[in-house]
Amino acid sequence: MNLPISPKGLTAILDLLSGQLIRKELKSSNIEHDIELAGIFDQLSLARNLVEIKTENEIQSIVFGDNDSHYEALRRLNTDIYFSLLVKEREYKIAVEFERSQKKSDRWTKHLLNYHLEESIDAVLYICSDNYIKNGLIKTEENLAKQFSGKVFFCTLEEFKSNKAMAILSNTNGKLFTINFHSGNCHHHFSTQAAIEL
């Protein structure tokens, strides 16, 4: 069926799809944040053992079907990037947040606490634009880490980008989260070279 792009055609489409359309407004209001996030996404897409990777806009767009509940927590938390890794026959669900500006401590506390309380997320990686922001987040996390498992890991953007073969993040308990990457010119194949200490 061909319908013209006119008020009458659009009304016909609306009538045809009535009850099936869901309006979704996706955010992208900070271009500097989004540009850095695109680079982080590109690097993570080269992770060994990668099962799946999605941007925040992709996550926010999944609102029906079989996968809806799989992404519900990530949608609610406005996760910047989600990816999962297969390590020793177990799939780990990982949230990534890129922080490029200082926030009030109570805002970070709330966000970190929500991640700690979310059992469906195995690890959270905070990549910070500089050490000042990273240290502020770590200070906030140190109080929470006394009550919760150390599933939140930190590094600066420079640390994340400094080694094309791997990225190493650490938590407040001194545990490391290592992501091994394929070289940029090879296709994905699964190996058991990702190291996750949870």
Listed by start position, the domains of the chain span 26-196
- Please tell me the predicted confidence (pLDDT) of residue 52: 94
Place of tokens 């390590």: 87
pTM (predicted TM-score): 0.78
The closest alpha carbon to 150, from 115, 100, 111, belongs to 115
- Please tell me the predicted confidence (pLDDT) of residue 67: 61
Residue 83 in contact with residue 47, Cβ under 8 Å? yes
Which residues have CB under 8 Å from 169's CB, separation 6+? 125, 126, 127, 153, 154, 155, 159, 160, 176, 177, 178
Statement: residue 31 has pLDDT above 90: no
Mean pLDDT taken over the chain: 82
Statement: residue 191 has pLDDT above 90: no
Out of 3-12, 70-79, 163-172, pick the least confident: 3-12
How many CB atoms within 10 Å of residue 23? 4
Question: How far is 14 from 91, CA to CA, in rounded Å?
Answer: 41
Place of tokens 């650490």: 170
CA angle 53, 82, 120 (to 5 degrees): 120
pLDDT digits (tens, 9 = 90+) for 53-104: 999 988 888 765 556 677 889 988 999 999 999 999 999 999 999 999 888 8
